[in-house]
Amino acid sequence: MQLRLLVVDEDTSIGTSLASELSPRGIEVVMERAPDAALRRLLREDFQAMMCDALRVEADLELCRQAVALREELPVIVTASMPTVEAAISAMRAGACDFLTKPMKVTEWLPAIDRAFEQHALRERVRRLRRVDEQGSRFDDIVGGSKAMQRIFDMIMRVADSDATVLVTGESGTGKELVARALHDRSSRAAAPFVAINCAAMPESLLESELFGHVKGAFTDARGGREGLFTQASKGTLFLDEIAEMPVGMQAKLLRALQERTVRPVGSNEEVPFDTRIVAATNRDLEVEIAERRFREDLFYRINVVHIDVPPLRARGDDVLTLAQHFLLRCQGGTAEAARVQGLKRAAAERLLAYPWPGNVRELQNSMERAVALAQFDQVGLEDLPERVTAYRATGLPSELASDPRHFLPMDEIEQRYIRKVLDAMGGNKASAARVLGVDRRTLYRKLDRWRVFSETSGKEKDSVAAAE
């Protein structure tokens, strides 16, 4: 869509000068001299920003007020030849997004116009999401309209009716269990139980009994037999969450159960068959776990028949705002009619989009519940968001990339520093870092190995030099 700027000023040379600067950038400048004509334009045509002169303060500020009332998402810039503090305050109260002084200074006006276009784009996004159509961006209990999530939805639909074992990976808080539940609910097993267990929550002996069951007298306090989760989930789905935390000894028993499709309850000599679909999940990089001998390679291939990788929230674009709106309504009863807090102010939406959400969807949900509890108005503002969100500032390029030639670095050094920064941000998760960097994991591993070897070699050389001295 072409960007269009409506300029309202008796001095037509303003529009001509702006057009000469903005037209090469694909921005159309439309000039009107009278406020009434400008309002008629706004009724008929679309503009992404407006600039009006405050020569006749009351009349032109009334134009600003009417334009904002007519087009809530339209940023209005007010200009003035004789600026005063009172005029600037009046302009802001009328809904202006910026206040500029005359005569026109291109170096000051063009950045303000760019900011206005950016504000319009963000306001449009917030406006669309304020009354989000959940059916258009929702898949069972999973909310998201981004391309990344559409790929997840497509994969779920393709494999839901299969009995193939599915491995769901992704950072903590991304909604891996929701994916597992969607696989179950969309399958022919939907009428049977969905049973979930956190493999990190119990020791090996208890986990074996929980999964496979036990017979009476199998251990102290085993006063009766108990059916395991594999058979409790018969005809349904068993979700093994945090499977990478399972002790290695238990992994061998799980592998045998998956291969034979039978389980042996603790204390029993009999094998019990099961008909259960297995979905496993982890936030760890299992290939790294295998390399470091914490996870069995044969079990990995057994559970990784179909792989679904859930993207982190920071990689899902506008899903942040979609989910924020969803949580705002859900914690108030689920409908817009019942909600006291209806949506997000522009500044709050900007901060939500800028924040990297290390805790992913779970952290966003917590933040929205907090915002609803604190909000004094019908929209969430900056003051209602957690301090970690409002105080966050994205780090730019390293200072070594300044204009001073003395600070220039080799490309390999810049690449190494950047990759290590991404790894730190991902909590050391190499799979997530590779996804952010846009490379496959093997490429990332090769780079890290090369730098590690180089670092070790350099260290030896330094030791040798020190010894020689």
Span 152-156, average pLDDT? 91
Examine the pLDDT at 350 and tell me if it is beyond 90: no
On whether the CB atoms of residues 28 and 53 are closer than 8 A, the answer is: no
Residue 242 confidence class, pLDDT cut points 50, 70, 90: very high
Q: What is the pLDDT of residues 13-54, one digit of tens each?
A: 888 899 988 998 889 999 998 888 888 898 889 899 999 887
Half-sphere exposure (CA, 13 Å, Cβ side) for 457?
Answer: 6
Examine the pLDDT at 57 and tell me if it is beyond 80: no
Span 408-412, average pLDDT? 65
What gap in Å lies between CA 184 and CA 66, rounded to an integer?
Answer: 53
Instruction: Give the range among 77-91, 124-138, 203-217, 435-449 with minimum mean pLDDT.
Output: 124-138
The whole-number pLDDT of residue 468 equals: 34
CB atoms within 10 A of CB 317: 17
The whole-number pLDDT of residue 459 equals: 45
Nearest of 429, 178, 153 to residue 279 by alpha carbon = 178
Nearest of 227, 237, 167, 172 to residue 200 by alpha carbon = 172
What gap in Å lies between CA 312 and CA 314, rounded to an integer?
Answer: 6
Most confident of 119-123, 228-232, 442-446: 228-232
The residues near 160 (Cβ < 8 Å, ≥ 6 apart) are: 182, 183, 186, 187
Residue-wise over 173-189: b if at least 16 C-beta within 10 A, else e?
bbbbbbbbbbbbebbeb
Instruction: Give the range among 81-90, 241-250, 389-398 with minimum mean pLDDT.
Output: 389-398
Secondary structure of residue 130 in the 3-state scheme: helix
CB atoms within 10 A of CB 144: 25
With tokens 């080799």, the residue in question is 410
Written as six digits, the tokens of 191 are 């009428």
- Higher pLDDT: 463 or 165? It is 165
Residue 261 confidence class, pLDDT cut points 50, 70, 90: very high
DSSP E strands, 226-370: 226-227, 237-241, 262-263, 272-273, 277-282, 306-309, 343-344
Examine the pLDDT at 402 and tell me if it is beyond 70: no
Nearest of 420, 414, 408 to residue 452 by alpha carbon = 420
The whole-chain average pLDDT of the chain stands at 83
Q: What is the pLDDT of residues 325-338, one digit of tens each?
A: 889 988 887 666 66
The phi and psi torsions of 381 (rounded to 5 degrees) equal -110, 180
On whether the CB atoms of residues 352 and 366 are closer than 8 A, the answer is: no
Examine the pLDDT at 405 and tell me if it is beyond 80: no
pTM of the predicted protein model: 0.63
On whether the CB atoms of residues 280 and 168 are closer than 8 A, the answer is: yes
Span 344-352, average pLDDT? 88
CA torsion through residues 221, 223, 228, 232, sign? negative
Share of the chain above pLDDT 70, in %: 85
CB burial class (10 A; 0-12, 13-18, 19+) of residue 29?
Answer: buried
Read out DSSP for 47-102? -SEEEEE-SSHHHHHHHHHHHHHH-TT--EEEEESS--HHHHHHHHHTT-SEEEES
Examine the pLDDT at 109 and tell me if it is beyond 50: yes
Q: What is the pLDDT of residues 265-277, one digit of tens each?
A: 988 889 999 999 9
Nearest of 341, 310, 367 to residue 172 by alpha carbon = 310
Instruction: Give the range among 35-39, 162-166, 188-192 with minimum mean pLDDT.
Output: 35-39
Instruction: Give the range among 88-97, 109-118, 241-250, 367-376 with minimum mean pLDDT.
Output: 88-97
What gap in Å lies between CA 167 and CA 104, rounded to an integer?
Answer: 61
Span 392-417, average pLDDT? 58
With tokens 């009172």, the residue in question is 86
